[in-house]
Protein backbone atom coordinates (compact mmCIF):
# COMPACT_ATOMS: atom_id res chain seq x y z
CA UNK A 1 0.00 0.00 0.00
CA UNK A 2 2.81 2.41 0.87
CA UNK A 3 4.48 1.71 -2.47
CA UNK A 4 1.19 2.31 -4.30
CA UNK A 5 0.64 5.63 -2.52
CA UNK A 6 4.16 6.72 -3.38
CA UNK A 7 3.65 5.86 -7.04
CA UNK A 8 0.38 7.78 -7.13
CA UNK A 9 2.03 10.78 -5.50
CA UNK A 10 4.79 10.78 -8.10
CA UNK A 11 2.31 10.61 -10.96
CA UNK A 12 0.26 13.42 -9.44
CA UNK A 13 3.35 15.60 -9.26
CA UNK A 14 4.24 14.83 -12.86
CA UNK A 15 0.74 15.64 -14.03
CA UNK A 16 0.66 18.89 -12.11
CA UNK A 17 4.03 19.94 -13.44
CA UNK A 18 2.88 19.39 -16.99
CA UNK A 19 -0.62 20.82 -16.83
CA UNK A 20 0.57 23.75 -18.89
CA UNK A 21 2.09 21.41 -21.43
CA UNK A 22 -1.11 19.40 -21.89
CA UNK A 23 -3.18 22.53 -22.39
CA UNK A 24 -0.82 24.12 -24.92
CA UNK A 25 0.24 21.12 -27.01
CA UNK A 26 -0.04 22.07 -30.65
CA UNK A 27 -1.74 19.60 -32.96
CA UNK A 28 1.09 18.20 -35.06
CA UNK A 29 0.36 15.02 -37.00
CA UNK A 30 2.89 12.16 -37.08
CA UNK A 31 3.74 12.94 -40.69
CA UNK A 32 4.26 16.61 -39.93
CA UNK A 33 6.49 15.71 -37.00
CA UNK A 34 8.58 13.42 -39.21
CA UNK A 35 8.88 16.12 -41.86
CA UNK A 36 10.14 18.57 -39.24
CA UNK A 37 12.77 16.09 -38.08
CA UNK A 38 14.02 15.32 -41.58
CA UNK A 39 14.11 19.00 -42.49
CA UNK A 40 16.19 19.68 -39.39
CA UNK A 41 18.57 16.86 -40.26
CA UNK A 42 19.07 18.35 -43.72
CA UNK A 43 20.15 21.58 -41.99
CA UNK A 44 22.65 19.61 -39.92
CA UNK A 45 24.05 17.82 -42.98
CA UNK A 46 24.56 21.17 -44.71
CA UNK A 47 26.05 22.75 -41.58
CA UNK A 48 23.29 25.35 -41.58
CA UNK A 49 21.79 25.04 -38.09
CA UNK A 50 18.87 27.32 -37.24
CA UNK A 51 18.19 26.42 -33.62
CA UNK A 52 21.57 25.69 -32.06
CA UNK A 53 22.47 29.33 -31.44
CA UNK A 54 19.04 30.05 -30.00
CA UNK A 55 18.82 27.13 -27.58
CA UNK A 56 20.41 28.96 -24.66
CA UNK A 57 18.77 32.35 -25.18
CA UNK A 58 16.89 33.52 -22.10
CA UNK A 59 13.76 34.18 -24.18
CA UNK A 60 13.57 30.59 -25.36
CA UNK A 61 14.23 29.21 -21.89
CA UNK A 62 11.36 31.30 -20.55
CA UNK A 63 8.98 30.01 -23.21
CA UNK A 64 9.43 26.38 -22.16
CA UNK A 65 10.06 26.84 -18.44
CA UNK A 66 6.39 26.48 -17.50
CA UNK A 67 5.84 23.23 -19.41
CA UNK A 68 6.82 21.12 -22.36
CA UNK A 69 4.96 19.96 -25.44
CA UNK A 70 7.35 18.01 -27.69
CA UNK A 71 5.92 16.66 -30.93
CA UNK A 72 8.38 13.79 -31.37
CA UNK A 73 10.10 11.16 -29.24
CA UNK A 74 13.57 9.94 -30.19
CA UNK A 75 14.80 6.64 -28.75
CA UNK A 76 18.51 6.90 -29.46
CA UNK A 77 21.86 5.48 -28.43
CA UNK A 78 23.86 7.16 -25.66
CA UNK A 79 26.85 7.48 -28.00
CA UNK A 80 28.41 10.93 -27.54
CA UNK A 81 28.43 11.43 -31.31
CA UNK A 82 24.67 11.07 -31.63
CA UNK A 83 22.92 14.00 -29.86
CA UNK A 84 19.39 14.15 -31.37
CA UNK A 85 18.82 17.83 -30.62
CA UNK A 86 21.79 18.71 -32.81
CA UNK A 87 21.30 16.02 -35.49
CA UNK A 88 17.76 17.28 -36.06
CA UNK A 89 18.52 20.97 -35.42
CA UNK A 90 15.88 21.32 -32.72
CA UNK A 91 15.58 23.76 -29.85
CA UNK A 92 14.34 23.44 -26.29
CA UNK A 93 11.02 21.67 -25.85
CA UNK A 94 10.69 20.26 -29.37
CA UNK A 95 11.76 16.64 -28.97
CA UNK A 96 11.55 14.22 -26.06
CA UNK A 97 14.77 12.20 -26.03
CA UNK A 98 15.27 8.78 -24.46
CA UNK A 99 18.89 7.63 -24.70
CA UNK A 100 20.45 4.32 -23.74
CA UNK A 101 23.42 2.41 -25.15
CA UNK A 102 22.28 0.37 -28.15
CA UNK A 103 18.96 2.28 -28.36
CA UNK A 104 17.30 -0.69 -26.66
CA UNK A 105 14.00 -0.66 -24.85
CA UNK A 106 13.20 -2.03 -21.40
CA UNK A 107 10.62 -0.97 -18.82
CA UNK A 108 12.15 2.40 -17.95
CA UNK A 109 12.39 3.38 -21.62
CA UNK A 110 8.85 2.15 -22.30
CA UNK A 111 7.54 4.15 -19.36
CA UNK A 112 9.29 7.28 -20.56
CA UNK A 113 7.85 6.90 -24.07
CA UNK A 114 4.36 6.20 -22.73
CA UNK A 115 4.57 9.31 -20.58
CA UNK A 116 5.56 11.50 -23.54
CA UNK A 117 2.68 10.15 -25.60
CA UNK A 118 -0.05 10.23 -22.95
CA UNK A 119 0.83 13.37 -21.04
CA UNK A 120 2.91 15.49 -23.41
CA UNK A 121 1.10 14.80 -26.67
CA UNK A 122 4.00 13.59 -28.82
CA UNK A 123 2.74 12.00 -32.04
CA UNK A 124 5.90 10.40 -33.46
CA UNK A 125 8.33 7.85 -32.07
CA UNK A 126 11.63 7.38 -33.89
CA UNK A 127 13.91 4.49 -33.01
CA UNK A 128 17.32 5.79 -34.09
CA UNK A 129 20.29 3.48 -34.52
CA UNK A 130 23.65 4.62 -35.83
CA UNK A 131 26.62 3.48 -37.84
CA UNK A 132 29.40 1.65 -35.98
CA UNK A 133 27.38 1.37 -32.77
CA UNK A 134 29.69 0.20 -29.98
CA UNK A 135 26.98 -1.56 -27.98
CA UNK A 136 25.76 -3.55 -30.96
CA UNK A 137 29.33 -4.34 -31.99
CA UNK A 138 30.11 -5.67 -28.52
CA UNK A 139 26.97 -7.83 -28.53
CA UNK A 140 27.80 -9.07 -32.03
CA UNK A 141 31.33 -10.03 -31.05
CA UNK A 142 30.04 -11.80 -27.93
CA UNK A 143 27.54 -13.76 -30.04
CA UNK A 144 24.78 -12.23 -27.93
CA UNK A 145 26.00 -14.03 -24.81
CA UNK A 146 25.99 -11.93 -21.63
CA UNK A 147 28.55 -12.30 -18.86
CA UNK A 148 25.93 -11.36 -16.28
CA UNK A 149 27.35 -7.89 -15.62
CA UNK A 150 25.51 -4.61 -15.92
CA UNK A 151 27.12 -4.01 -19.31
CA UNK A 152 26.19 -7.58 -20.17
CA UNK A 153 22.53 -6.66 -19.72
CA UNK A 154 22.86 -4.57 -22.88
CA UNK A 155 24.11 -7.62 -24.73
CA UNK A 156 21.05 -9.57 -23.54
CA UNK A 157 18.71 -6.97 -25.03
CA UNK A 158 20.57 -6.86 -28.35
CA UNK A 159 20.97 -10.66 -28.56
CA UNK A 160 17.83 -11.30 -30.69
CA UNK A 161 19.21 -9.04 -33.43
CA UNK A 162 22.59 -10.76 -33.20
CA UNK A 163 21.09 -14.22 -33.55
CA UNK A 164 18.94 -13.17 -36.50
CA UNK A 165 21.79 -11.43 -38.29
CA UNK A 166 24.35 -14.18 -37.81
CA UNK A 167 21.85 -16.80 -38.99
CA UNK A 168 21.96 -15.24 -42.47
CA UNK A 169 25.66 -14.38 -42.42
CA UNK A 170 25.12 -10.68 -41.87
CA UNK A 171 27.66 -8.18 -40.53
CA UNK A 172 27.59 -5.65 -37.69
CA UNK A 173 25.97 -2.90 -39.73
CA UNK A 174 23.17 -5.27 -40.69
CA UNK A 175 22.85 -6.19 -37.04
CA UNK A 176 22.43 -2.50 -36.16
CA UNK A 177 19.52 -2.29 -38.61
CA UNK A 178 18.00 -5.51 -37.27
CA UNK A 179 18.25 -4.18 -33.72
CA UNK A 180 16.43 -0.97 -34.67
CA UNK A 181 13.62 -2.93 -36.30
CA UNK A 182 13.27 -5.32 -33.38
CA UNK A 183 13.17 -2.47 -30.86
CA UNK A 184 10.46 -0.74 -32.91
CA UNK A 185 8.43 -3.95 -32.89
CA UNK A 186 8.89 -4.29 -29.13
CA UNK A 187 7.37 -0.87 -28.53
CA UNK A 188 3.94 -2.07 -29.58
CA UNK A 189 4.36 -5.63 -28.39
CA UNK A 190 5.28 -4.60 -24.85
CA UNK A 191 3.16 -1.48 -24.39
CA UNK A 192 -0.63 -1.41 -24.62
CA UNK A 193 -0.52 2.38 -24.48
CA UNK A 194 1.78 2.68 -27.49
CA UNK A 195 -0.11 0.00 -29.42
CA UNK A 196 -3.47 1.67 -28.84
CA UNK A 197 -2.25 5.08 -29.96
CA UNK A 198 -0.66 3.59 -33.08
CA UNK A 199 -3.86 1.74 -33.97
CA UNK A 200 -5.88 4.93 -33.49
CA UNK A 201 -3.55 6.79 -35.84
CA UNK A 202 -2.50 9.23 -33.13
CA UNK A 203 1.10 7.99 -33.09
CA UNK A 204 3.46 6.67 -35.74
CA UNK A 205 6.61 4.65 -35.12
CA UNK A 206 9.49 5.09 -37.56
CA UNK A 207 12.87 3.38 -37.79
CA UNK A 208 16.01 5.20 -38.80
CA UNK A 209 19.79 5.01 -38.89
CA UNK A 210 22.30 7.82 -38.51
CA UNK A 211 25.47 7.90 -40.62
CA UNK A 212 28.42 9.11 -38.55
CA UNK A 213 30.36 10.10 -41.65
CA UNK A 214 27.93 12.27 -43.58
CA UNK A 215 25.51 13.19 -40.77
CA UNK A 216 22.43 11.96 -42.60
CA UNK A 217 19.51 10.19 -40.95
CA UNK A 218 17.95 7.60 -43.27
CA UNK A 219 14.58 5.98 -42.74
CA UNK A 220 14.64 2.18 -42.74
CA UNK A 221 12.17 -0.20 -44.31
CA UNK A 222 9.00 -0.84 -42.36
CA UNK A 223 8.67 2.71 -41.05
CA UNK A 224 5.40 4.46 -40.60
CA UNK A 225 3.29 1.56 -39.27
Give the domain CATH number at 212.
3.40.1050.10
Is residue 15 over pLDDT 70?
no
Query: Which range marks the domain in which residue 37 is found?
Result: 2-219
Number of domains in the chain: 1
pLDDT digits (tens, 9 = 90+) for 114-145: 999 999 999 999 999 999 999 999 999 999 99
Chain centroid, CA 152 distance in Å: 22
Whether residue 23 lies inside any domain: the answer is yes
| 98 DSSP β-pair partners | 75
Backbone angles phi, psi at 87, to 5 degrees: -60, -30
Whether residue 224 lies inside any domain: the answer is no
Whether residue 225 lies inside any domain: the answer is no
Whether residue 44 lies inside any domain: the answer is yes
Q: How many other C-beta atoms lie within 10 A of the C-beta of residue 138?
A: 17
**Reported confidence tier of residue 20, pLDDT bands at 50, 70, 90:** very low
Beta strand spans in the chain (E): 72-76, 95-99, 124-130, 204-210, 217-219
Helix (H, G, I), strand (E, B) or coil at 31: helix
pLDDT digits (tens, 9 = 90+) for 41-53: 999 999 988 776 6
CA distances from 123 to 3, 189, 220 (A): 31, 18, 19
Amino acid sequence: MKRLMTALAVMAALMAGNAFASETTTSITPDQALAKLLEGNSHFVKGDLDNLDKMSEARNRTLVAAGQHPYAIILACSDSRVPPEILFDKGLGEIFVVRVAGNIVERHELGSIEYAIEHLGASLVMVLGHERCGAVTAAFNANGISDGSNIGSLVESIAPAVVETKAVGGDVEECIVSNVKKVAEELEARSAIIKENVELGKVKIVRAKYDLDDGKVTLLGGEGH
